[in-house]
Amino acid sequence: MLFFSSHLRILTPISSTVWPSRLLFHSLASLPAKRIKRSPPHVHTAASPKRARVGDSSLIINGELKYFRSGAQVFSDLLQGEGQAYFDRTRYISKLHEFDKFILFCRPRRFGKSLTYADEHQSLYKGLDVQKDIDEGRVNPGQYFVLKFDFSQINPSPDLPEANEELIAFLNHTIEGFYRKYAAYLGGNFTDLCQNVDNRRPNLSLRWCTNSVQYAIQQDERLAGIEGIYILVDEYDSFPNSYLNLPKIVGGSENAWDETAVGRTFRSFWATIKALGTEGIIKRIFITGISPLSLSGLGSAFNVARNLSFHKDLAGLCGLTSSDLEAALMGIYEDPEVYGRFLSEMTEFYNGYHFCRSKTVNTVYNTETCLAYLQCRIEGVTPATQDPENSEVSVEFLRRFAASAPAIRDFEKALESDENGNFMPIEYSNFKL
């Protein structure tokens, strides 16, 4: 799970009993000398508990170990929870900054891709890897307004007109939430800002929103050093994947989704993000999902993101490694024979994922599965060894895949090896379900 700070504070990832999947920082842009940079108002947080890192691992424990709980929604609560354990992934923040400005990052379900906000990096990040990057100037906090769209929040209706209304409401509600959070920097009147929300065309709502930010940065000296908007899109494919089995219209597009009002709304939203990114109003975009298929299906509407899902330097961004699991079990048990036995059990039942095509990297384990197992061990309960609820591949996807001869051929080809023994890449831009 990634944690990004609000109130213009810091975009930062952390892997904890949650995992950071994308943390974003950017160096300050040069600004006119007449403008003075000031820190915007912020929320003060309570002092953090004493943190102890387990050896040289990424595991950090707040005081006496009690929890490997997942699902934390507030970054400060996670870092300040007494007895909470988490895995520090903030070292990836500076790495992500080195890549493209528009990034797609895919992982299976329940791998900890979700994002949330965090305030007050001065106190919260003490002892985390990112603090060293901040001290040495590789990471510069407080440079973006953060606009986050979490498509998993939509409850997809089987009725397509109703689904379109749900999508429009979701997009506009997200923009209204952005106005509420940053109203103090965008003119101060939340109600007036919401007048820019178009009830039928959320792509226009987005354009008005970005224009408001651009104008505020130009006019408000408190925002000197703020570069613009950072768009975070979580589980971007959660909504469209619910409509994989739409019947095709005779004489219509090959993709039935494109022929629906909800499909057009979805497409226009991404086309607007692309246009605003090209114009430089949106500075950075980080997108997470399960697969790149829905995004590649948009074609030219959004063809600007770089898929870094299998990049060797990001293979461990989400998920837990064997060394993480060993450190966690060492925090629970003192006897090497005992924690070694449980580590072997986790290896046997949970295996590991290998997210790199070009070289051998450490395998990573499903976050939620492992956290549930570790919490059971703390509580003295025998853990179940099955995957967590909602971690499986979509049933609709499997049905569509099984009925698609082109998809089967593409996957069979992907299982072949090149002359170096590497699997052949799937050409998602040409992939057809």
| Most confident residue range from 282-296, 333-347, 410-424 | 333-347
Confidence of residue 131 (pLDDT cuts 50, 70, 90): confident
Confidence of residue 15 (pLDDT cuts 50, 70, 90): very low
Q: What Cα–Cα distance (Å) separates residue 367 from each residue in 22, 287, 298, 404?
A: 15, 19, 30, 31
Q: Tokens for 223, please give them.
A: 């925002």
What are phi and psi for residue 114, nearest 5 degrees?
-65, 155
Tens digit of each residue's pLDDT (9 = 90 or more) over 334-359: 999 999 999 999 988 887 788 887 78
Confidence of residue 42 (pLDDT cuts 50, 70, 90): very low
The predicted structure's pLDDT at residue 425: 63
What region does 335 belong to: left with phi over 0, alpha with psi -120 to 50, or beta? beta
Neighbours of 393 (CB within 10 A): 13
Q: Tokens for 110, please give them.
A: 């329940």
The predicted structure's pLDDT at residue 29: 31
Could you tell me if 296 and 433 are in contact, meaning their C-beta atoms sit under 8 angstroms apart? no
Tens digit of each residue's pLDDT (9 = 90 or more) over 142-182: 788 999 999 989 988 989 999 999 999 999 999 999 999 99
% of the chain beyond a pLDDT of 90: 29
CA distance 238 to 234: 9
Sign of CA dihedral 83, 348, 317, 2: negative
pTM beyond cutoff 0.85: no
% of the chain beyond a pLDDT of 70: 71
What is the 3-class SS of the chain, one letter each residue?
A: CEEEECCCCCEEECCCCCCCCCCCCCCCCCCCCCCCCCCCCCCCCCCCCCEEECCCCCEEEECCCCECCCCCCCHHHHHHCCCEEEECCCCHHHHHHCCCCEEEEECCCCCCCCEEEECCHHHHCCCCHHHHHHHCCCCCCCCEEEEEEEHHHCCCCCCHHHHHHHHHHHHHHHHHHHHHHHHHHCCCCHHHHHCCCCCCCHHHHHHHHHHHHHHHHHHCHHHCCCCEEEEEEECCCCCHHHHCCCCCCCCCCCCHHHHCHHHHHHHHHHHHHHHHHHCCCEEEEEEEECCCHHHHCCHHHHCCCEECCCCHHHCCCCCECHHHHHHHHHHHCCCHHHHHHHHHHHHHHHCCECCCCCCCCCCEECHHHHHHHHHHHHHCCCCCCCCCCCCCCCHHHHHHHHCCHHHHHHHHHHCCECCCCCECCCCHHHCCC
